[in-house]
Each structure stands twice: as structure tokens, then as C-alpha cells.
Chains A and B, each alone.
Chain A
């Protein structure tokens, strides 16, 4: 189905199932431990072997030699495969750093061997016996120092944009701000580690893995192994979190494939937690300069956002200026991204790449600018709203209700109780409130599905879409149920299998809208097949209450299916609506923090998010997405930082003890409000993404609340107590 004109009324609008607060249909499998994650796949007739990876002990250089003789002799060992054994491998299309093969070490903990043994413990013990002789080379590990060497990335990345004359407008503006903000490297830290089981059958390979994007992985694994993609069967039905860390093929799948080949047995490989931050990808650190000029009445006349980030050669920039191109009005504007070559592990997508770190900077700057103007920061944002793409005013937003989010949020939160910096106290706590806008683009990706109707009247949806904890199973079932007039119990959903039609996958908050739109398209095909079989005129056919009706004829769906059943399959493709209209999602975050007056510990007291993100397909799963994202924003504001050892070039705090993410005690009552909205430009579902929107702006709202509590403006994340105590009131 080609979606190139705005959606009109369609069966989804009935909202009997879609839009309803339905609990996860896979929830019981998960709460009872029966959902089988990658590492847990178990065929009782198969004797699995266990592979344990070895990570490089240097950040950059070459491997001169490897001695695996002791490892091979260790108890239980079946095979040892080294990066030298397999030689240079082709790199997957989506990988910047190579995952395995050859003598070059590009980053710390790069996979350089896998040891396969009868048990996990034997494999781990033997892996410690692999001896490596390195020729270490000097690398570049410090973004701050490499900033001056940063270059303009390729034009395809749109590194520079400019409208009007920023310099002139900024210089002549009566009120200006020019500040620099930094965000650190961050790690996804999903609960389920990267894990794969590989099983060869002749030249055919089956891999159970933990992947957000089945088809990307399938292509890249086939490329890396040098096999035909058609010979590769990939499955990833359940995923214990990804956050972008499982978008691209990872070493566990490659090592499992090589290990299984060598051992002649199916092999399981999971990345050990301490290997994950350096072996895989991370959100790259940024240095961001924001300049804003405004009239005295608060109208922005000039806005500029520049961002510097680093990556391995061949990588891309963190697109932290994205939102500044679209979020606020202003006739004179420029954005620029510069990329430094660093020898740290690969930087890549992590939940809301670009906008998450970009808003961490921009939304502090907006708060600072409002203060300079003597304006309320909510009012300042409302005043500078735009209903068109400010770089291209011919182009309106499809829907944009930032103002509604700010106004509803301010009302609900009690924003008018806010006082000046450092003026509210509750015992030992300095209390402050902060606000930030949330913004994330709505991306459209083709997505396919197959829908089968059987003679029992059961509809089964098959798509390679993944559920990374987001609720894909449920909203897909809701979509099929709505389209075919069935209760959700009559719909089965099968996901994450490369034998199914290629879907959008889970990323960029496009999965929910695009995958359900693909299911919608397939259901349209199935409805046509049903109508055709019954000889109904498909224009006036109604699917309702398990029946298909036309005029005064009504037939049970089960009957219509007949003994052979019926199938509909299609892929949603996208026309120009995202070019003619800017499609984005909006929100507002409100936060109250307490800062301990003596120690500077910041603790969150209240959080509210208001989101305008198109139709909400399921308010329960959508809320879960947003509160999870808000929690991630707390981590980004207050704790999360991969500490770079700039001498030897690696992330030092590479486990969950050293890299702190929020725990339950850190998270207070969280409230989420979804604005009534449908967006006919976004898809037949009229929905957009919400999973990343919930993160965008949270950390800045917290930073602004800390400023309001203490009067201390911290522009370097995370805002840990050491950055505050020097400015707190005397307590001795």
C-alpha cells in the first residue's frame, strides 16, 4: 500500500480495540518466565555448547600473535576461533567498527576470539588462558582535545544549515546568550545482554538472537560470514531491551556462527556485562555551543547550534542540532555539526539519537535565555512557537501542539507556584522546579506483514517486527482485531522471524506507527480476499463482531476462511507527505527536584510529561514507554557517564556497579498525559512515535530544576554533587 494522501475515515477509527487500555498480550509469558529470550532457546534434543568471547586488552594497534594452546587443552574445550584464524571479514553495512576478523584492533574489548566448551564455566575459564601479543599504537581518545581537528561530515548528513544572516542578527540583538554545554558518552545498559545461538545445518545457518532489526542483521551477518542471505534464518521473538544497542549486528552473533562451525555443534554466546560498554556501541559525547539572540519582548531573532562529537573513522556525527532546526521560530539561524576521529569504541544510536543530547543543551539554553529576558520559561517557549518549518516556511507541521502540552502541563503541575532560584526550602532540601520542551521527529519506514485467517476464525499476524519491551505484540494484535472486527483474543501475533515479511523494526520511535500501518495494509488485503471469496462488493463490506457483512448478508469469518484459510500480505510504503509536511512529536516535561543543602545530592520529587504524538494506540503501553524514558532522562541528568581513560582509551566504569543508572529509590511518582490528537499525515493509523519523545528534554528539565533549587547553573552533564557543592550555602 502506498500511503501518499492523508488518511480519511477507516476501520481503525472505530477504536473498539485500538486506543483501548489493553494489557500486554505477552505479559503473562514474561511474568511467568515462559518468554524465551535468545540465550534461553532450548531444544531438549540438541546439545548446545557455550562460547565465551575474549576482548582486546588495548584500544588501538595490531595483534602480533595469539597463543591458544593452553585454552585448547583446558577441560571441556571444543574449539577456539581467533580473529587471526578467520582473517579479514567483510564488514556489515551498518557497522562502523569491524566486529571480528583480522589483526587490527580498533577499540578496547573488540572481540578477538571465542572459546567454545561443553559448559559456560569451562568456556570462561579457558578464555582466560588465551595469550595475546599486541603491537600497541597511540590513539586519540579525548574529544575536548580533538575538537580542533574535527571536520565537516559528508553532505548526506546535512552537517550545516543556515537561513538569513545569523551573525548580523545575533550581534545586533539586545539580549543574547552564548554558552557551551557538554554531554558525556552513555551506555544503553539494557537488561538483556547481547546474546545469540547459532546452529549450522550444512551451509544453512539458524541464529536465535536479540535484535531490534531482523533484516539489517540478516544482511549484515550474511555479509560478515560471506554466505548467501537466503541461507540465513534469524529469530528474535523476545528482546530484553535494546535502546538502539541492538539495532546493528553485534559480535555475539558472529562469534556464535564461527564457534558453531568449528565445534560442529550449536553454540550459545552472550556478551559478558563488563564487555558490553566497550565492545558494543554507545551514545557519543558532545560539546555543544548554543547562541540565541532575542528582542526585549522575547522574540528570538537569531539562533545557532553547533555540535562537536567523535567517532571511529568512517562513523558519523551525533546529530545533536536536529531539533534546533525545527523547534523554535527565528528568522536568522544556523546549525553545524563537526566530527572528530577518535579511537574509542563505536559511537552510534542510543534512544532518541540527536534529540536526546541536543535537547539536553538547547533546553538549558532556552531556560537561561528566558531568565535573561525576565520571562517565564513556559511563556518564552510559547511565544517562540512556530507552526511551519522555520528553515523552510512553505512547509507546515502536520500537527504541532507544543503550546497545548506546555499549557496543560503548567496547569496540572502547578507551575505558577514556581519562585526564583534558591528560594524554596523543605528541611534540608533546596526545592526547585524545571520545564523543558520535548521534541522528536516522526520517521516513516516501509513495513510489511502477512495476515492469515484460518477456519477457526483465528487471525495470525506474521511480520519480522520486533518487540523490545515496547508492546509491539499488543498494538499489532489490536490493529488486526480492529481491522477484522474481532476481539483481541482471536488474534495471534508472531514476530521477529526472518521468514516473515520485512518490517520497519524497532528504532527511532518509528516501530509502533510503521509496523501497525504495515499490518493495516496486510489486513486491507485480507479483507479484500474475504470479500472477493464471498462475492461481496468490498466497498460496503463491514467486519464486525466476528462477522463480515454486506447489505443484509452476514457470514462468520471462520466460515469465510473455509478449510484452506485466507491470506493477506502487503507492505506500507510512504509517499511525499513527510516532505510536504514536517512530521514531529511534541511534549513538555515538568520536574521538581530536591537538592540536599549540605551534600548536593539531587533527588527527583515529581515528574510530569505531556505528550502530543498522534493517536495513542494503547495508553498502557504508551505510558510505560514514556515513564521508562523519563527514568532514562533521570539517569542522563544525574548519573550516567562512561568515564574515559584518556591515557589508554577505554570506558573504565564498564559494568552496572560503575555505570550508574537509576534504581527504584530514585524515581518518584511519574505522571503522563497524552493530548487528544490524530495525525492523518502520519499513517492510516494516524499515530506517531512516543518511545523516544518521552526521553527528549527530561534531563534539561531536571538541570533547570536544579538551577531553580540552588541558583547554580551546571552545563556539564551529568549533574553530580561535585559540580554543586562549591556553590551551595555554607553549612559548617
Chain B
């Protein structure tokens, strides 16, 4: 870990301004991912702006009938919230499928959206990695890639986004609210929030320098059977090989977002249109452009089979 300076921000605007004026600054909330990465010198901020005092820890109804989740609401609190459990069961289930009780107690909603990949080559600073060291190459391509992405990949990176929560947010059409360094605000649909790796895998979201997440807004509840199915080698405390977040309506239509397969939560609306036709057709569209490696080819079939199990559970 490199030496850094530290401040506790007193307002959202001040935090955004401070971050915008210092390209080597980072926000810190729960720190469950950032501190680990700093110890390994994968992240090397010279200044930390602590946002824990900004009062962004409330869950409130919106005028439209949805829910505004403060950026600092801890994963544990979000998963346990009565309205979330009643109206957005998918979100609650996805959260509880991730990490451990201790981590969820610290991890924040915004931080969860910003957690970085668990690619082992990203974590080993001796190894080339375009995400950690732009232009150095991708060790995972041709290497140990069982956990890696199968769709939306590039020649530069095949890493996945490890978040469970983000899969639920994507299926629920959440909107990320932010404040920029100049004090202006914007609302970013979750579909646009995370980026595919392309030639710049080190740029993972559309956030601009200094831009701070203040809340994640859920639209009014859409009902349906809400299922999160996380497939992994061991029963707990593991990242998804594949996960399926689904909201299935009684008429057979629904929404599907998939984790463990791409650099972002993977949802293809055209695939959902195929749901009434069948799982195979839907998966065909969902993973139409899949380019798996030898080691993770199984994920294509696993998505289809997991989706089939989820649909069957929703109908059962």
C-alpha cells in the first residue's frame, strides 16, 4: 500500500469537487474492495475522500412509486429492508448470494456497483493485464480462464464483473443518480452504467472524473416471480460461474439478466422476447455473439440450463 492523504467530505458537492480536482483521488465508503486492492498496489490512490458522513444512507419511496436507495446503504440493510424484500425480492436475494455477512455489513450500494473484477491475473501484479496496466496484454486469454467472460469480450480483456447486486439492478431497470465535480446532476440508466472492455478495459463505467454516486433508484415494482440463481463450485463465499436474475410474469414474459458471463451485467431485451418460445431460443439470442475460451465454453450451456431451471421454478 502506498502512502495516501485522507479527508472526510462534508457534503456531496465538496466531495465531487475535491475528487474532480485530483485525478489520483478515490472515494472510499465500505472499503471492502478498495483496501484489498490498495494493499496489493493494484489501486494506488494518493488521496482518499471518505464519503461515509454524507447522509446517503436512507431508503425512501420516490414520487413515482419506486424506491431511492442511498449510495451508502449497506448491503446487509438493503437486503433486509421490508419494502425491498416485498417488492424487489430479486435484489434482496442477489445481495444475500454475495460475499459474507461481515462484508455485506460494510459494503455500500454504490461501492458494490463499482467493485472490480476478480480475474486472478488482474490480482497478480507480476502478470500482464490491460485492465491494471494498459497496453501490457491480457494473460487470461490463452491462460487460466474458467471464470472468465464469454460474451462482450475483446482482444484486450475477458474479465467479468463479479457483482451479484448489479445483476438484480439491471433486471429491475435501476437508475444511478450522480453529482459531478461541477455540481451538476445526472441520472444514468443501469444499462448504460457499466462498459464493455473494448480497447480500454481499465475504464469500467461511464462515470466522469470526480462524479459521485448519490443514490440508486428503482422504478415502481413490477411484480412477477423474482428469482436469483447463483451457480458456483462451493455453496457459499464464491463468485458466480453463472448467475441468472429473473422476473417472470404469470403470462410467461419476463426479464433476464445474467452474471458471470460478461464485463457488465448481461441483459439482452431481444432475448426476453423469445422467452415464450423457449429457453433455448432465448439463450440463443442472449449469447448470440459468445466467444468462449476452451476453459469456459461450458458457461454457454450452463446459462441455458440455469435459465431453464429458473423458468421452471417460476412456473412451478
Residues of A within 8 A of B (CB): 57, 75, 121, 124-125, 128, 274, 428, 596-601, 603, 638-639, 643-645, 647-648, 652-655, 657-658, 660, 662-666, 718, 720-722, 725-726, 728, 731-732
Provide the residues of chain A in CB contact with B60, threshold 8 Å: none
Partner of A732, one of B3, B127, B239, B304: B304
Provide the residues of chain A in CB contact with B241, threshold 8 Å: 721
Provide the residues of chain A in CB contact with B27, threshold 8 Å: none
Provide the residues of chain B in CB contact with A75, threshold 8 Å: 3
B102 on the A face (CB < 8 A): no
Contact with A along B110-138 (1 / 0, CB 8 A): 00000000101101101100000000000
Is A731 in contact with B234, judged by CB distance below 8 angstroms? no
B143 on the A face (CB < 8 A): yes
B43 on the A face (CB < 8 A): no
Chain B proximity of A303: nearest CB distance (Å): 33
Is A663 in contact with B235, judged by CB distance below 8 angstroms? yes
Provide the residues of chain A in CB contact with B126, threshold 8 Å: 57
B1 on the A face (CB < 8 A): yes
Segment with Cβ contacts to A, from B61-69, B85-93, B172-180, B306-314? B306-314
Chain B proximity of A594: nearest CB distance (Å): 11
How many A-B Cβ pairs are below 8 Å? 105
Is A598 in contact with B309, judged by CB distance below 8 angstroms? yes
Is A647 in contact with B142, judged by CB distance below 8 angstroms? yes
Is B124 in contact with A652, judged by CB distance below 8 angstroms? yes
Partner of A599, one of B124, B231, B237, B312: B231
Is A720 in contact with B234, judged by CB distance below 8 angstroms? no
Given contacts A725-B301, A732-B279, 14 further A-B contacts (CB under 8 A): A600-B305, A601-B232, A603-B235, A638-B234, A652-B121, A654-B124, A660-B234, A665-B235, A720-B233, A725-B298, A725-B302, A725-B305, A731-B312, A732-B304
Is A599 in contact with B120, judged by CB distance below 8 angstroms? no
Contact with A along B232-264 (1 / 0, CB 8 A): 111111110100000000000000000000000
Residues of B within 8 A of A (CB): 1-3, 39-41, 118, 120-121, 123-124, 126-127, 139, 142-144, 146, 231-239, 241, 278-280, 298, 301-302, 304-306, 308-309, 312
Chain B proximity of A593: nearest CB distance (Å): 12
Provide the residues of chain A in CB contact with B144, threshold 8 Å: 643-645, 652-653
Is B123 in contact with A655, judged by CB distance below 8 angstroms? yes
Is A652 in contact with B308, judged by CB distance below 8 angstroms? no
Provide the residues of chain A in CB contact with B306, threshold 8 Å: 598-599
Is A647 in contact with B143, judged by CB distance below 8 angstroms? yes
Provide the residues of chain A in CB contact with B2, threshold 8 Å: 125, 128
The docked-state distance in angstroms from the alpha carbon of A75 to that of B3 is: 10
Select the residue from A644, A658, A665, A720 with max chain B CB neighbours within 10 A. Answer: A658
Q: Given A125-B2, A643-B146: A732 and B233 within 8 A (CB)?
A: no
Task: With CB as the reference atom, state the residue of chain A lying closest to B233.
Answer: A639
Provide the residues of chain B in CB contact with A655, threshold 8 Å: 120, 123
The docked-state distance in angstroms from the alpha carbon of A654 to that of B127 is: 13
Task: With CB as the reference atom, state the residue of chain A lying closest to B282.
Answer: A732
Provide the residues of chain A in CB contact with B233, threshold 8 Å: 601, 638-639, 660, 718, 720-721
| A-B pairs with beta carbons under 8 Å apart, 7 shown | A125-B2, A601-B231, A652-B143, A660-B238, A721-B302, A728-B305, A732-B278
Is A598 in contact with B3, judged by CB distance below 8 angstroms? no
Provide the residues of chain B in CB contact with A722, threshold 8 Å: 146, 298, 302
Chain A proximity of B305: nearest CB distance (Å): 5
Chain A proximity of B219: nearest CB distance (Å): 30
Provide the residues of chain B in CB contact with A274, threshold 8 Å: 40, 123-124
Is B235 in contact with A732, judged by CB distance below 8 angstroms? no
Q: Given A599-B306, A645-B144, A721-B233: A124 and B1 within 8 A (CB)?
A: yes
Is A732 in contact with B308, judged by CB distance below 8 angstroms? yes
Q: Given A274-B124, A652-B144, A722-B146: A731 and B235 within 8 A (CB)?
A: no
Chain A proximity of B128: nearest CB distance (Å): 10
Task: With CB as the reference atom, state the residue of chain A lying closest to B121.
Answer: A652
Chain B proximity of A395: nearest CB distance (Å): 43
Chain B proximity of A602: nearest CB distance (Å): 9
Provide the residues of chain B in CB contact with A721, threshold 8 Å: 231, 233, 241, 298, 302
Provide the residues of chain A in CB contact with B312, threshold 8 Å: 731
Provide the residues of chain B in CB contact with A658, threshold 8 Å: 118, 120, 123
Is B232 in contact with A125, judged by CB distance below 8 angstroms? no
The docked-state distance in angstroms from the alpha carbon of A718 to that of B146 is: 13
Provide the residues of chain B in CB contact with A644, threshold 8 Å: 144
Is B120 in contact with A125, judged by CB distance below 8 angstroms? no
3 A-B pairs closest in CB distance: A598-B309, A722-B298, A57-B126
Task: With CB as the reference atom, state the residue of chain B lying closest to A662.
Answer: B234
Provide the residues of chain A in CB contact with B39, threshold 8 Å: 124
Chain B proximity of A596: nearest CB distance (Å): 8
Chain B proximity of A654: nearest CB distance (Å): 7
Provide the residues of chain A in CB contact with B124, threshold 8 Å: 274, 652, 654
Provide the residues of chain B in CB contact with A648, threshold 8 Å: 127, 139
Partner of B236, one of A128, A657, A663, A720: A663
The docked-state distance in angstroms from the alpha carbon of A75 to that of B4 is: 13
Provide the residues of chain A in CB contact with B118, threshold 8 Å: 657-658
The docked-state distance in angstroms from the alpha carbon of A657 to that of B117 is: 12
Task: With CB as the reference atom, state the residue of chain A lying closest to B140.
Answer: A652
Provide the residues of chain B in CB contact with A725, threshold 8 Å: 298, 301-302, 305
